[in-house]
Chain A
Amino acid sequence: MSFLTILAEVVAVVAAMVALAAVGIVGADRLRRLRRTARLRLRAVAPQLAVLAVVLLVNSAIRDVVPEFSWIIGWNITGYIFALEGTFVAFVQSFASPPLTAYFSFVYVYGYVFLLVFPLLAYAALDDARPLRELVIAYSLNYGLGLLCYVLFIAYGPRNLLSDLVESLLYTTYPRYQLLTSRVNTNTNVFPSLHTSLSITVAMLAWLSRDQYPKWTAIATFGALSVVIATMYLGIHWATDVLAGLLLSAASVALARRWVGDGSWRS
């Protein structure tokens, strides 16, 4: 199975999930209004989207160079992380069972992408432009600060250090996903966990928009917690990475809320 096949599969599954959630959570009325005003609303958040686009472009342009640079100036903290938290991830994995592995693998690959994509649509359908602006800026901050950490810190995940205690559950159960993840990340970039920080960012903003989307708040909270557990359960991240991810998401949300003032859809 090639990289493109897997990518197509992920896109198809996530698209189906988003469509389902759009009908169930956003509702037909809001979706119709969104269709009429889409162009206007897109223009209104153009500056924030531009920031995100720049961050993502820079990220993909220098992704290959970051590890090289990191080995020159970065600090290898893998041993310190292990000294700090010991075999906690092995403890998490002691609860492993095939159904749980299937669930957390699904959450890590598909659920995570869904969590990130759906609120873009849901917030675009709101009368208030503020949540969407905050979301886009918070994403940019997560990526930008995360990338900075990846340059400064070299850290391998628990499966790479404690291979006797921690199994690489995602890749041993579904090897094909490694073809996907190895294209978007290198194995020295685990501190902080961007899976954690982005999911928690989504959950925090979902809590702030609970009056508009109470169902989404529940789903996002449950989904984000699942992603957080999945990162450790699958042996990909340390608990330390998760904690750092939490801090990163808190900082990103706080800064995003500070910077975004205007809630109107005019540009």
Chain B
Amino acid sequence: MSSTDGRSELRGTRRAVLASVAAASAAGTSGCVKRLRNVVGREPSRQISLEIKTVPADSDPYASRIARHLAENLETAGVAARVVPVEVEELYRQVLINQQFDLYVGQYPEARHLDPDSLYGLLHSRFSSESGWQNPFGYTNLTVDELLEEQRTTAGKARREAAAELQRTVAQTVPFLTVAFPDVLCAVRTDRFTKWRTFGPNSAVGLLSLERLPGADFSSDFASDGAELRLATTDPRITENRNPIAAEFRRLGTFIDLLYDSLCRRYSGTVNPWLAETVTWATDGRAPTVNVRLRDGLSWHDGTPLTADDVAFTYAFLADTTLGADEGSIPAPRFRGRVSLVDNVSVTDDRTVRIRFLPGSEAVADRALTIPLLPEHVWSEKTGKASIAGIEVNGETTEALIWNNPNPVGSGPFRFERSKPDESLVLSLFDDHFLVRDRGGEDPTGLPARPAFDRLRVQVVSSDVSAVELVSNDDADATISNLSAETVPRIARSPDLDLIAHRSQSFYHVGFNARQAPLSNPRFRHTVARLVDKSFLVRDVFGWYAAPAASPLAETRWLPEDLAWAGADPVTPFLGEAGEVSPERARSAFREAGYQYSENGKLLTR
């Protein structure tokens, strides 16, 4: 939070003025008292002070380096900047839920299939007072709101133009600064499973498309003839909390996507039916509608049948986790943008739902079909206000948002078996899942008819080096959290290990809290953005395993040419050379933005 350096100065001034005036006021002219009030009533300006929150280097080797880079350059520019390392769960609680931050460095929570509409949830001002991944920046820009609506309701060239203009405005006004798209590095063993490269191990679909290496020996895994897939991660959150809508506990949702299924899944470039058997589009006026027929005989992990009612419940519940019990609504802190596409869901019969969308195009609307389905019989009991030991403690949140969901009941191909907080998680194959049950015949998903492993074990380690060590000692098959470029030689030296580099759309960014001065000023944010040397970071911090970018959609076909990276940032070029900011250029940029410096080079609040 902005500190109050200069308060003492203020008191000093007040005292001095009071003393001198006390003497003079013996004469007692009212003009003098007026002058006193004019002087004392003015708050002197003080140095701008900013905190940059991020996770410690142990849990993400890159984020803390980006934060330090920015902090050093802010200092050069005369801002008192401090990096505050915070545990990952706590970081996102402070940023997403409580909005207690000035700046933070983090990753976008989706690794693939970004779309102009992904920015709807992230930036629309209608979400600025909600908590979660919906507009965590408190950014309000009416032009952006209009463009967000426009890309939702148009198609073809018009949508392309709206998306381009949207990206330009976002790059100019910087609610968050896109830094780089990382190549997710993974160390994998090649002596048990293959096809690591199809989708990369960092997604549920990627894990489901693995295949056993012919002739590999799995006899040590189980008493029976099953195979176990062992993954190493530095992120302990899944071992403590398995709530699909708890934003502060989810990274990319890889394991949640194994536990919870959705109507459709997006992979290989298209939205593919998953729990849906058929998806039939129609138009109702300007509003697209879709009839979804579920596969036959679906059930939840606890044996309860999965019906169309659960589908309708999920959409209603995510839009308002109180289910209308209260006057105000409390929407889920994840999937907000996608759920907001849906106008209404009606149940036709046990296996069929009809989803009516708000006016727009099908291409946008189908994003709403990929959210995880929740069982009504479990979550309908979580709509009450959050309480501890029966005492309501927080009227602004429901039980659903704070529940750790220790024994998740989903319908995904893997079910929860056990976990040990901060140590491990074990999932096992759900025998009733359609991928397992319909083995043999032609499967519409295009994935192997049955997952290659019967059990999944996730082990938590304390740093990326330990994760690689675990894989190289044959205690794990692959790493799943971010590895730093420094681990690459270690992987290359080990004969059984393979290095996979998979470009992720989960871009690193610096988020600004636009709710408070000076970060509420787009000119100020724009100038701060020019203190980050993305090329330098990609070379020095990411060891070239990343691509610098000027737009969150840089890795999609929606990037306009004028925002393409051409050696330097096209909108917010760096104010210096080779990572070092030039103090003169920084000062003149801040002065141009309307800020002033003190005599000793400190940037002042006003």
Residues of chain A at the chain B interface (Cβ within 8 Å): 1-2, 64, 67, 71, 76, 78-79, 82-83, 156, 159-164, 168, 171-172, 175-176, 178-179, 181-182, 187-188
Contact = CB atoms under 8 A, between A and B. Distances in A.
A161 B57 contact: yes
A175 B466 contact: yes
Given A79-B82, A171-B465, A178-B465, A71 B473 contact: no
B83 A161 contact: yes
Given A179-B466, A182-B461, A164 B85 contact: no
Interface residues of B, number: 28
Given A64-B421, A176-B469, 20 more contacts: A1-B473, A71-B87, A78-B85, A79-B51, A82-B83, A156-B85, A159-B57, A161-B57, A161-B68, A161-B85, A163-B61, A163-B64, A164-B65, A168-B463, A171-B465, A171-B466, A172-B465, A178-B462, A178-B463, A179-B469
Contact of A160 (B58, B461, B469, B541): B58
29 contacts: A71-B90, A78-B84, A78-B85, A79-B82, A83-B82, A159-B58, A160-B57, A160-B85, A161-B57, A163-B57, A163-B61, A163-B65, A164-B541, A168-B57, A168-B465, A171-B466, A172-B465, A175-B465, A175-B469, A176-B469, A178-B462, A178-B463, A178-B466, A179-B461, A179-B466, A182-B461, A182-B462, A182-B466, A187-B56
Given A168-B465, A175-B469, A188 B87 contact: yes
B443 interface: no
Best-surrounded residue of A79, A163, A187 (most CB of chain B within 10 A): A163
A61 to B, nearest CB: 15
A79 B81 CA distance: 10
B422 interface: yes
B463 A171 contact: yes
Contacts of B475: 2
A188 B90 CA distance: 12
Interface of B: 51, 56-58, 61, 64-65, 68, 82-87, 90, 421-422, 461-463, 465-466, 468-469, 473, 475, 486, 541
Nearest to A161: B85
A163 B54 CA distance: 13
Nearest to B466: A178
Contacts of A82: 82-83
B432 to A, nearest CB: 35
A83 B90 CA distance: 23
Contacts of A79: 51, 82-84
Nearest to A78: B85
A178 B497 CA distance: 21
Contacts of B56: 156, 160-161, 187
A161 B56 CA distance: 6
A159 B85 CA distance: 11
Given A161-B56, A162-B68, A164-B65, A178 B85 contact: no
Given A1-B473, A163-B61, A76 B86 contact: yes
Given A160-B58, A163-B57, A178 B68 contact: no
A160 B61 CA distance: 9
Residue among B51, B58, B82, B469 facing the most chain A CB atoms (10 A cut-off): B58
A76 B94 CA distance: 13
Given A161-B56, A163-B61, A187-B58, A178 B86 contact: no
Nearest to B422: A64
A161 B61 CA distance: 10
B294 to A, nearest CB: 40
A159 B57 CA distance: 7
Contacts of A172: 465, 486
A161 B82 contact: no
A160 B87 contact: no
B61 to A, nearest CB: 7
Q: Which 7 A-B pairs have the closest CB atoms?
A: A160-B56, A163-B57, A175-B469, A79-B82, A182-B462, A178-B466, A156-B85
Nearest to A159: B57
A204 B465 CA distance: 37
A65 to B, nearest CB: 11
B493 to A, nearest CB: 13
B421 A161 contact: no
Nearest to B57: A163
Contacts of B57: 159-161, 163, 168
Contacts of B473: 1
Contacts of A176: 469
Nearest to B81: A79
A60 B330 CA distance: 39
A52 B41 CA distance: 59
